[in-house]
Every structure is written in structure tokens, then in C-alpha cells.
Structure 1
Amino acid sequence: MILKEYKHRPDANSKSEENCAEVSTRLRNAFKTNEDVLVMSDVVVEVEERKVNVDHVVLHPYGITLINSRTLYGKIEVNYRQVWNRIVNGREIPMENPIELFKYVSRELRNKLNNHTAEVLTRHNGVQKGFEVLPIEVIFVQAPKTTIQGNGINQSFIMTVEQVTQSINRSFSSYKKREFQMYGGMESFKFTPSDMHATADLLMGNVIDRSQYPAAESAQTQAVKQGRRGIVRAVSTLRPHIIKGRDIKPGRQRDNEPAQ
């Protein structure tokens, strides 16, 4: 489901803007009818008195994915000190280290959610959960014909446009599988549909109005609707009965069984 559409920025570099538009199109085509995934473009996160624009934010029941699609274009060199430079017409133009920047963005985003926990997360069985175990993943999308040279760069964060939706679907399936495994869901995080919409409105700076969100359901109700197997603990009211060895008698031999 698309909550906030991409808007063209005429002041940005043409290559980066084309890449951002392509990512937005692929996210729209992949998730526009999926109610389990919420997509927002151009979400602003405050980092130490500075406003950082996150090109795309994807929410699903098991976490958040931050996508940067405007930074990596052209020829980029990274030296051993992790200093980033963009090469333009043979000149080195210093640029901010996007990987380090988004470490702070992820931290401030988690802090913001923790500060508004009571507003965006409903209580379950009288217990108020938090965002300490919320997975926040970061993806950097490089534009076509981009070259990144250097040592010590974590390439797992960097991918092409075609890999973005595949990565999100893979993460979604992985967390969902973990939830259904034995003991796997005890420490895992999961949004209810209502809480997920409330979180999206908080990130976009909108008023949180739960009357407009999908109705929240308990985990037990969802499990019954989905036909999921579970363990039922039965408690007997009878007194424990001790069976002694002398009271155990051999069973009768069936007529159709041959004698031993």
C-alpha cells in the first residue's frame, strides 16, 4: 500500500533523481495492493538538529526498511580512512559517508519510536511492548553505470534497482518463517495492522487517528483465523492416581493374532 508518493526534486542530480524515480516505480508495482506493506517516500528524520531525507521507507509487520536511492551515482572512491569522494571530470569532490549517516538515522528513528511507544503500540494482555528488538534495515541503491572503488565497504547494503523488492520480500519471508518456528516468535517483533499505520503516520508527521486504521486483533484471534496449529495446555481437577506394578495385568490376546 502506497501512503506517500514520490515527488520529483528538480534541484537534485538528474542521474540520482532517475534512480529514485525507478525505485519508487518498482516499489509501487510490487506493493500497491499489499496491505501488509506500507510504502512512504521522502520521509524526514531529525539527526542532531539536522533534517535528513530518507528517500523511501517500507514498513511491514516485522520491521522497517530505509532506502537511499539518491546518493550513489557516477564514480565514487573510498580511501582507507573511509573518506568518500565523487569523481567529476577528473576532480575529487568530497561527499558524506552515507553508511555512517544512516547509522545515526536508524538510531534516531528508533529513539523517536521509543519516545512515542504508548501512542503507536497498543497494549497486549496489559503489557506495553517497545521497539528495542525492532529490525531496521538499510538499503543503498546505486544508479546504473555507477562504480564504487575502495576497501572496507560493506557491499551487502548496496544493490541495484532490480534487487530492492526481492530483498524486502526475502526479509519479510524470513521473519515470518521465524515467527512460526518453535520458540522463534518469543523475542521477535511484530506490528499489528493498526500499530503499523500509527507508526507510518508518526513518521510522516500526521495525526494518529486509530478510527481510520484496520481493527487490531489479538494474536490468538489471528491464529484461529489462519488455522495455525498451537499447543493447548489442559489442567485436570482430579487427584493424581498412583499405579502400582502388581495392578498391571497383561492384555487379552486378540483372536486373529497368532500365539507366540
Structure 2
Amino acid sequence: MILKDYVHRPDADPRSEETCAEAATRLRNAFKANEDVVLLNDVRLPFDDERTVNVDHIVLHSYGMTLISSRAIYGKIEVNYRGEWSRNVKGREIAMQNPIELFKHVSKNLRQNLSLNIDQLLTRAKGSQRTFENMPIDVLFIQALKSTIIGTGINQSNIIFVEALTQSINRTFSAYKKREFQMYGGLDTFKISQSDMYAIANFLLGNEIDRSSYPAATEQTSSGGAALLPVPEGKTGIVRAYSTKPVKIIKGRDIKPGKQTLERLEAESEAKAR
């Protein structure tokens, strides 16, 4: 489901804007009919009290969200031993902000803002209020074609090309979904309803939260709105029980024959006596 579509920015670098447009197209084609995903493009999130940062794409799903930056990494980029980033522009090294550190702060502030508004964003689960503390906020950076990153000590696990974008998100979603049915019935897995997803998405866009227009739910939020859909039954599993009583060792001489064995032995002895 697409809640905010991509809009072309003529002021951006053509290389970064081309990458952003392709990323938006791939996300649209992959998730436009998916009711478990809400897609937002070009969302301004607070960086500090005075500044905001544009997040090119946000993918909200029932197990968390993914922030995607598709305009930051283009051209020839060099990272020195101090972790300082620079971009080569017509033979000149121009300092640029470290996008990885930038999004660490954005993710942290985002979690804090969500927590401050938890009453209207998260519904109660079985009578208890959940939190955003264990909500996964993943970050992906899209590297433009014909661009390079030179340097040591760079964690490039979340820097991908646009061709791998949707596969990476689907793989992450499947991993969280798999955890739900693992040990302890997924008690440590963060999961929200469609109603919560729409509430969070509208909160990020600065829109009014109107739960009456969201998918129906069964429980109530702490502020009185609609809430969670019924929780589906989990898969059948094996429960191991352990006794707290001391282990008793049974010796061979203490083992007595069963009733059938006794009857058989008696019958054999009577047959021999005859």
C-alpha cells in the first residue's frame, strides 16, 4: 500500500535522482498491492530540535520499518581513516556528511518520538501496552550505478545497489516472520496490526490519526481508539518439560518382572514339572 508517492526533485543531482526514481519504482511495483506493507516516499524526520532530514523511502511492515536513503551515495566517494567522507567533484574533494552516522541519529530520534506518542500509535495486546523499544528500524543505502566508495573500516552490509532493494526487504521481512514461530511462541518478536501501521504512517507524515478509517480491530488503545486484530494461532510445536525432582538411579537387581512375564514364567515351570 502506497501512502505517499515519489515526487521528482529537480534541484537534486541527476545521478542521485535517477537512483531514487528507480528505487521508488521498484518499491511501488513490489508492494503496491501488499496489505502488510505501507510505503512512504520523501518524508522529513527530525534530526535535532531545529533540523530535519529527508528520508527518501520508508517501508512500514507488521514487524517494524526500513529507512532507505537513495540520494546520498553517488559519484566517487572516499572515506579516510578518521571516518570522514568526501566526494570528488570535478577533481576537487568536497566534504560530505557521513550518511551512516546521520541515519543512526535519525533512527534514535525516530524511536524517541514514537515512544512519546505511544498511546495513540500502539494498541494494547492482551491488555498490556507494548513499546517501541524492540521495534526493528533497519536502514538501507542505495549506491548509484558507476559510483565507487574507497576507504577502510566501512560497514557496507547495508549499502546495496537498487537491483537488490526489494529482495533485501523481503528477506528481512521473512526473517522477522520466521522468528515469530520460533522458541517461546515469538514472545520477543515485535508485531503490529494494520491499524497501527496506518497510525504510525500518518504520524510520520504529520497527518491526523483517524483509526475509524483503518482496518477493524478488537481491542482498545489506552486513548480509546480501535485496536488489534485477533491474533492468529501459531504453529504446533514441541514443549519440553523438565522435572525438578532428584534423579533416582534404578539398578538391575531392583527391577521386578511384570505381570505378563510372571505368568509366562509360571506357565513354563508348570510345563517342565509335568
Distance 1:192-1:129 versus aligned 2 partners, 3 A rule: same
- AA paired with 2:47? V
- AA paired with 1:223? P
Kept after mapping to 1: 8 A contact 2:134/2:190: yes
> CA–CA distance in 2 between the matches of 1:72 and 1:50?
21
CA deviations over 1:106-144 (Å, ceiling 9, x no partner): 001100100000001111222111100000000000110
Is the counterpart of residue 150 in structure 1 residue 151 in structure 2?
A: yes
> CA–CA distance in 2 between the matches of 1:121 and 1:181?
24
- AA paired with 1:15? R
Query: Structure 2 regions of 5+ residues with no counterpart?
Result: 220-227, 240-257, 262-267, 269-274
2:130 aligns with 129
1:237 aligns with none
Query: Structure 1 regions of 5+ residues with no counterpart?
Result: 233-248, 253-258
Is the counterpart of residue 183 in structure 1 residue 192 in structure 2?
A: no
1:35 aligns with 35
TM-score in terms of structure 2 length: 0.81
Distance 1:181-1:150 versus aligned 2 partners, 3 A rule: same
> CA–CA distance in 2 between the matches of 1:220 and 1:15?
43
Question: Percent of counterpart pairs with the same letter?
Answer: 60
Kept after mapping to 1: 8 A contact 2:67/2:137: yes
Partner SS, residue 163 of structure 1:
helix
2:11 aligns with 11
Deviation of 1:178 (Å)? 0.6
Deviation of 1:5 (Å)? 0.1
Kept after mapping to 2: 8 A contact 1:72/1:142: yes
- AA paired with 1:156? S
Q: CA RMSD in A?
A: 2.2
> CA–CA distance in 2 between the matches of 1:127 and 1:11?
47
Structure 1 segments (4+ residues) deviating >6 Å: none
Kept after mapping to 1: 8 A contact 2:118/2:131: yes
> CA–CA distance in 2 between the matches of 1:182 and 1:150?
41
Deviation of 1:221 (Å)? 3.6
Number of paired residues?
236
Kept after mapping to 1: 8 A contact 2:79/2:86: yes
2:254 aligns with none
Distance 1:99-1:29 versus aligned 2 partners, 3 A rule: same
TM-score in terms of structure 1 length: 0.86
1:240 aligns with none
Deviation of 1:223 (Å)? 1.8
1:109 aligns with 110
Distance 1:68-1:215 versus aligned 2 partners, 3 A rule: same
